[in-house]
Amino acid sequence: MGVLTSSTLVMIWRTVSDLSSAERFATELLEWRKIGSDSYSVLYDAGNIMVGFWEQEKLLNLTRASRSTLVATSLAGERACGQLSLSRYMLIANPACELQLTHTDLPRLITAFGWRHAAAAEPPQTFVDHDGNYFSVSTAGDQNHLTALNLMVSDLRGSDNFYGDVLGLQAVGQSFVCGRITIRLRQETAIGLVKSLNQVQRLMGDWAVFHVADIETIAARLENRGVRFPNGIEDSRFGRVAYFNDPDGHPFNLWEPPAEPAEINYFPVLTRLTNSGKPL
């Protein structure tokens, strides 16, 4: 069994320019259930995973405060104080990361919230939100769920090796099973595109969170396989976290939750996600 074979991808965080718009989008259009929020982020139950949105400008303003104040605010704040370099040079949209969804009313998505239709083919269809973030949507019965994290990579063979052999995720073609969702890899559309996006911190707008029961053991095993954790294992009242990147710079982190939740009580959803690996 690989290092992360039995681990579950439990959260995806996405940068947005306006938190209120993101809340309307997730609540009214995608019909996801809101788990909770704080001063600059909001967390949703997207069926197969939790999805959080955080507003960059509000977080930038909070960086004027002390590091301890920022870390105490939320999981997104903990991430920001870790690997993410916060500056106005970091642009919002990450075209190399696409969230794949199922939705019961695909035509409604075409006109709602000012989405631009980016592909005219049959479902799944690709849409771009007001921040330039990409979503791939297909119709499905009575479910409005997130099903996959689609990542653009510069070298499919190298990325296959990283996700399959290094991380130890179960491979299904060029997809990798991470609990209830999959990570799907696709070749970059132009040579050097992913590298250039990484150089201007565009890849840092989204990051995914693996739940682990023993972060020290998992991190040590991954380090033995060549994975680097620039900040080591960090402790806060939101649990223990360790940040790393894939070969192209797509950010991830290991997360060992605390015994009890802080402001946002995600534990009921977390328990459901980690108790069954089958998608809803």
Tokens, residue 45 = 């139950």
Q: Looking at residue 173, what is its pLDDT?
A: 83
Q: Residues 75, 76, 78, 83: is their CA dihedral positive or negative?
A: positive
Give pLDDT, residue 194: 94
pLDDT along the chain (280 residues), means of 10: 92 90 88 90 95 77 44 47 40 80 77 53 68 80 86 96 96 91 94 90 88 97 97 90 96 93 88 75
All domains of the chain in start order, with CATH: 8-275 (3.10.180.10)
The set of long-range contacts for 78-82, using a CB threshold of 8 Å and a minimum separation of 24, is 78/234, 78/236, 78/238, 78/241, 79/13, 79/207, 79/241, 79/243, 79/253, 82/231, 82/234, 82/241, 82/243, 82/253
Single pTM value for the model: 0.86
